[in-house]
């Protein structure tokens, strides 16, 4: 593939990713979430009771960023912090019942956005995209 073709392809891919993020952000906002908060909620749905440091590592963000987001989600009633039984200085983050109840809406928002992003691509192109 020529350099100009690669550049054009990467530009289109970046544009598509930006549009998908914008669409997902709008869907999440309808449920009271901002970009990035969904990832914490889904990570806790997969494994509840993680530490902020563990969440930050898994999501590829810095600990101060995760702490701010956890505090916001806690203020909204979606999460709660509990001190570790082994070390009271260590907190573990858990979904509240309200948090668990909203997981389906988050997953649905993600799936709708993925479906919209893949619309117009045949199975072969989708498979090639997933390999990236």
Instruction: List, for the chain, all residue ranges whose pLDDT scores fall below the cut of 50.
Output: none
pLDDT at position 52, please? 96
* pLDDT for the residue numbered 1: 65
Please state the pTM of the whole predicted model: 0.82
pLDDT at site 20: 87
102: buried, middle or exposed (CB in 10 Å: 19+, 13-18, 0-12)? Answer: buried
**Residue 42 in contact with residue 108, Cβ under 8 Å?**
no
| Bridge partners, 81 (sequence order) | 93
In the chain, domain spans: 3-131
Question: What confidence score (pLDDT) does residue 122 get?
Answer: 79
CATH of 3-131, one of 3.30.70.150, 3.40.50.720, 1.10.10.10, 2.60.40.10: 1.10.10.10
Residue 129: which of 7, 8, 17 has the closest Cα?
Answer: 17
Please choose, from the candidates 27, 49, 52, the residue with its C-alpha nearest in 3D space to the C-alpha of residue 38.
27
């Amino acid at each position: 593939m020529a350099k100009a073709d690669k550049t054009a392809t990467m530009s289109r891919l970046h544009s598509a990713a930006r549009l998908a993020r914008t669409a997902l952000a709008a869907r999440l906002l309808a449920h009271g979430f901002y970009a990035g908060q969904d990832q914490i909620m889904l990570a806790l749905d997969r494994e509840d009771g993680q530490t902020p440091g563990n969440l930050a590592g898994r999501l590829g963000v810095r600990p101060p960023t995760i702490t701010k987001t956890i505090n916001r989600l806690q203020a909204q009633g979606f999460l709660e912090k509990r001190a570790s039984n082994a070390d009271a200085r260590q907190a573990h983050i858990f979904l509240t019942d309200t948090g668990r109840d909203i997981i389906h809406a988050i997953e649905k928002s993600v799936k709708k956005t993925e479906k919209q992003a893949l619309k117009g691509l045949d199975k072969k192109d989708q498979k090639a995209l997933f390999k990236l």
